[in-house]
Amino acid sequence: MKLKEEKEMQAITEEYEKALQSFHKKSYSKAGEAFKKIIETYKDSEFYSVLEIQTRAKVYQSMANAQTHPVTIKLESAQDYVWEGVFQLNAGNVDKALELFIHAEKINYRDAYLYFLMAAAYLKKEDTANALRYVEKCLKKDEQYKVIVYNEPDFEPLLQNQDFLKLVE
């Protein structure tokens, strides 16, 4: 490595590490600005190794911007509420997911899949009574869900529950 490349590499590495520290501390605004500075400062570098770090900075800047400027989605149809609920459930936001599922049900969305999701969400909240209630609603809508519900890992806690077993037998 030439001396000029070594100096440039050392400088970008130090700046990148500081920016990463801010990012990991969830100081997304500060991190975004630091990554932006790296991108601008080293955009014309003649060294591949420096440009590689500069490119990584672009990715992190994008993630930092996504945290400071989250996209808002306009939910219009019941299906929009269900899909957003699935997203929230997968993200671990069970209460928000349930709120969205309940809204979909209130606007007359009556689907076995929705009830399946609601049962799973209630079970994550350790609300066995509501979980069983929605398993039953799901199976009344579509009996073929028996196999799915019985084999779904999310419903494993119910495998010892006699009421659950009666529903899926």
What is the pLDDT averaged over residues 126-141?
Answer: 95
Please give, one letter per residue, the 3-state secondary structure of 77-134: CHHHHHHHHHHHHHCCCHHHHHHHHHHHHHCCCCCHHHHHHHHHHHHHCCCHHHHHHH
pLDDT in tens, 137-153: 999 999 999 999 999 99
Domain ranges (residues) in the chain? 3-68, 78-168
Query: 155: pLDDT confidence band, cut at 50, 70 and 90?
Result: very high
- C-alpha–C-alpha distance, residues 85 and 111, integer Å: 14
Domain at 78-168: CATH code: 1.25.40.10
Counting beta carbons within 10 angstroms of the beta carbon of residue 111, is it exposed (0 to 12), middle (13 to 18) or buried (19 or more)? middle
Q: What is the pLDDT of residue 4?
A: 86
